[in-house]
Structure 1
């Protein structure tokens, strides 16, 4: 007879829970959660008088039968678990139970750091040491660490934040040991320093944040949440001591920035970065820029990047770093401050005669101008980049971006030629639909339709705009019998006001089927006859021909609604909300009488459009490095205002 069998895994789990609970102070409460999503327990801290403190932490228990202690103290877990744990806003204690010895080792999950632990693409390895073994003082130590964690994770940093300083007498400070000790202690007493340093001879269970100086190395740990380790050269004079002190403060600024205490980080950076040997290091480079961007201090960020580039001895590395830094600043700079970025590039242009570097500066000025809708000026700088470095003409992205700029200023034939050249190198559905768009606006309706029908369904992200343009092109070809048209300008409102419907239709057929005013006029006439479906097509053509005129979109929505074309209405709402913002949905519904039914429909459509818009990456900025043969790119998130 088969009976249920208790596995060794279950036995180990029970042993680890009972062992850990037995080690906790008797006042503390251990609870087992009803639902286990990787969390095995919750501990609530009760003080010695029996009062609740409001302090809690979660527990992840990991038991092992491994007899080799070195192996047993290495705990490998999935990155998916780490990602999940990081979403929980409660400290998590990782408990390692060694069944052979009955020992318990503990570490906070937030103490993971590259100095002690390793991370791979799909997993991480947490290393436990002898200091992590549970002893009689471990509960007190974990409580102190918990309080320090909450102190540094607060929205406002508790000041002064206490940090112990331990200096090994055998450290490479040599005869400067005492002098440095007095320097670092005294520095924390300066105005607005967020820290208070105290010299200690050893790190005990009450020590939660510390700076340790030994050999030719220093290690900073703030409440186990942020750490920094670096080497230093043995000092030869007091100037070297000042540099080491600056390095430590810059490292502290780095940790604070990562913990979102950016105002305090900026204060330390401003005071110490210019005298620090860490000034040119990549981690500090990006942290400093991020700090200034977060505080909207764009000029400081730009000045710093320019100085780094000018001082760089390794021009290839320094140039790419400066390029990436300025691109990062661009991606986060509000439009009203973009002139400062352009000025920075112009300053850099004055400092170099390297054509490859110059060309990249011209190209990126073009990017800045393009982002601010100065399309004609952007074109000039794109062309200047190619003139300075002809390799740009071989780069598909340069052709594609230049094609987009010509499209924006209404030079559709030049645009489709450049798109066609780009497709020769990168024949993707994304490039093809842009090519078709330029063909459509240039009057090549049949060719545009064929390309859109072949590629619109092949895109990585569904884009309803292309399906609407397919509908418009089918309508133009079937209604007016025009497949190719050499457009002859727009009719103008004066002409339309004086003309009959027949005369406007003749203008559309013979001169310009994409004339926005003409199509809008015909749409209004069709509404009068309640021919809503065809009217909807007219308003869509008008909308795509002049995307700055919102009434075309609202009329198209209304006609689709009246014609009961729910699928078409959904497409129009999706495209219009992406172009005009989600407010256009509520604006459309304002024409209807207020009722629960319409309100419910409006809310559903707003939610639907929000979900549609979220599938696009309109808030991203691509940084490109390298040439036509080795082009690399990094995607950054743009600032949102």
Structure 2
């Protein structure tokens, strides 16, 4: 049986004290188990109506006196409290004097020094006044709800609070008001208002917040001038506004204070400044404002490189890919940094490729290597150039690009893409060789596709004796040949009947689809399955071709081919494939029950993994930038 200890007594007394001094409109719900939160307080209106407003309370009771109190809270607790959807109030109860001191935990958590694991908050607590403190709490809670759920409109209030003992609050407020110089903003010392945005100054820190929600903390040296403090404070507020998508506020501030914000960002925070400007103003207006700032730099090359990199990432993130492409065209015609013409063209090629404008992408890549010969020795460039040529149907040129990429970097990625391109170019034996070499090292994501192409190449070589082929045009009469036979044919006869057509163009999509129908009608399901599969590989979004290839593979008893085709169909066709697959059951009587069970298990797996597969299939665009330290690869989806 547990003993009753002093902390239990203090805990009960503190909760009883709170019930006594809190307003009658506050309902206290205490928790039996303490996980770092002791109470939840629900706020009601004077007439008893629910408001939906609430906050949490962490109660710390003590026998000490206020004068010699210490209350050290560790970093992990602050991180836990900041993760709550509702704000957390720290309540310090002194049993000997029956007094209460308090603060919002988010108001003090930012004061933990970067190298420390705890913070003594005793000196940061305020005395609870039964006449004014509840009003202050409710005012904050109402402002926080308004900030979260109601649009922010001008005039915007910025309030200032000083914690370092210097009475600079009014001075800083006046300087900030002068810096923004707009009727859209009001800047006040915090004792006068609870503004939309708050700025708190400590000896070596400036913290911003939005109606009590965490913002940004900037560390600085003690010798900053008042003007520099103002610049850093406004920059913190600007980033905070962007963080909470207060676009009108951020746009207003960016429009009137861009040079000031740029100075405050310095070299270290320049990317954040560029991104926030693009987010709040849009790409083109941000470029218009930022360009003069960059031209004033003594050496603008590195800032321009950083700016163009941020433009690429931000335009993708904020849905301005078309604007980014248009901007790159402008920069290509009149480069702000002449030596960057090659990278501008290369990034234009990437942007156009991401939009599916493959012909234009090929043209941009050609300009890139003409402007900057260094791309000739970069494997990734030839891989991307190869991909653009592949998508335009220029398989011979794509093969040359991938061969160059493979010579520069012998990787499974380059090798299987070369094999795939050789297949589409009619070089079936060479394609098989490259795919066979790549398959053991290909990642899980591409393995199914690589194995399918390899199987088709091997079938073309082994059954049809086609190691390579210069394709001829397929005429309408070629398709009619497959409608002439009315009698059932055996496999040898089927092959003999189709061989002249296969010798003409073994990977023509329509020819293979019709050949699949012909072979299926004669009961030769495996031949039919490969013909439908060839059509599907040539027209990757053709759901009917994929479905027929799977049915024929199942009816032939080739479960492995059916499952590979189903996984590929799921990848290329997406949700359209799943409803059909759900209702599909192998119909041939020779299919064993075990295979039918495997099919059901596969479909279940595909359904469960669909969202994950779709996310993976949507490749995050990347940007490669060249610096004195080498090439850096940036994933544009990352902030």
Same fold (TM over 0.5): yes
> For the Cα contact (< 8 Å) 1:399–1:421, is it kept in 2?
yes
Structure 2 matches for 1:518-529, cutoff 5 A?
518-529=511-522
Counterpart of 2:596 in structure 1 is none
| Cα deviation, residue 287, structure 1 | 0.9
Equivalent residue in structure 2 for 1:315, among 277, 300, 313: 300
| Cα deviation, residue 256, structure 1 | 1.9
TM-score, length basis structure 1: 0.74
Counterpart of 1:373 in structure 2 is 356
Counterpart of 1:486 in structure 2 is 468
Counterpart of 2:540 in structure 1 is 547
> For the Cα contact (< 8 Å) 1:273–1:279, is it kept in 2?
no
Deviation by residue 1:80-110 (Cα, 9 ceiling, x = unmatched) = 857xx64x53334467899999998766565
**CA–CA separation in structure 2 for the residues paired with 1:427 and 1:70:** 67
**Structure 2 residue runs without a partner (length 5+):** 483-493, 586-599
Structure 2 matches for 1:86-105, cutoff 5 A?
86=83, 89-93=85-89
> For the Cα contact (< 8 Å) 1:369–1:378, is it kept in 2?
yes
> For the Cα contact (< 8 Å) 2:101–2:127, is it kept in 1?
yes
Q: Secondary structure at the match of 1:480?
A: coil
| Cα deviation, residue 318, structure 1 | 0.4
**CA–CA separation in structure 1 for the residues paired with 2:523 and 2:99:** 83
| Cα deviation, residue 157, structure 1 | 2.5
Structure 2 matches for 1:341-356, cutoff 5 A?
341-346=327-332, 349=335, 351-354=336-339
Q: CA RMSD in A?
A: 5.0
| Cα deviation, residue 258, structure 1 | 1.2
**CA–CA separation in structure 1 for the residues paired with 2:4 and 2:400:** 70
| Cα deviation, residue 113, structure 1 | 7.2
1:257 counterpart = 2:242: yes
Q: Secondary structure at the match of 1:299?
A: helix
**CA–CA separation in structure 2 for the residues paired with 1:36 and 1:603:** 46
Structure 2 matches for 1:126-137, cutoff 5 A?
128=121, 130-132=123-125, 135-136=128-129
TM-score, length basis structure 2: 0.74
Structure 2 matches for 1:459-470, cutoff 5 A?
459=443, 461=445, 464-470=448-454
> For the Cα contact (< 8 Å) 2:464–2:499, is it kept in 1?
no
Counterpart of 2:595 in structure 1 is none
- 244-253 vs 256-265, greater mean Cα deviation: 244-253
| Cα deviation, residue 607, structure 1 | 3.5
**CA–CA separation in structure 2 for the residues paired with 1:268 and 1:340:** 26
> For the Cα contact (< 8 Å) 1:399–1:419, is it kept in 2?
yes
Counterpart of 1:453 in structure 2 is 439
Counterpart of 2:275 in structure 1 is 286
- 368-377 vs 417-426, greater mean Cα deviation: 417-426
| Cα deviation, residue 407, structure 1 | 2.4
**CA–CA separation in structure 2 for the residues paired with 1:385 and 1:245:** 43
Work out which of the two has the higher radius of gyration on C-alpha atoms and give 1 or 2: 2
**CA–CA separation in structure 2 for the residues paired with 1:101 and 1:624:** 65
**Change over 3 Å in CA distance of 1:510–1:277 after alignment to 2:** closer
1:75 counterpart = 2:63: no
Deviation by residue 1:519-563 (Cα, 9 ceiling, x = unmatched) = 212111122134444422211111112336554234334545666
Equivalent residue in structure 2 for 1:54, among 24, 44, 52: 52
**Change over 3 Å in CA distance of 1:455–1:245 after alignment to 2:** closer
Q: What is the aligned residue count?
A: 594
> For the Cα contact (< 8 Å) 2:75–2:112, is it kept in 1?
no
**Change over 3 Å in CA distance of 1:215–1:460 after alignment to 2:** same
Counterpart of 1:22 in structure 2 is 17
> For the Cα contact (< 8 Å) 1:148–1:223, is it kept in 2?
yes
> For the Cα contact (< 8 Å) 2:72–2:121, is it kept in 1?
yes
**CA–CA separation in structure 2 for the residues paired with 1:497 and 1:279:** 71
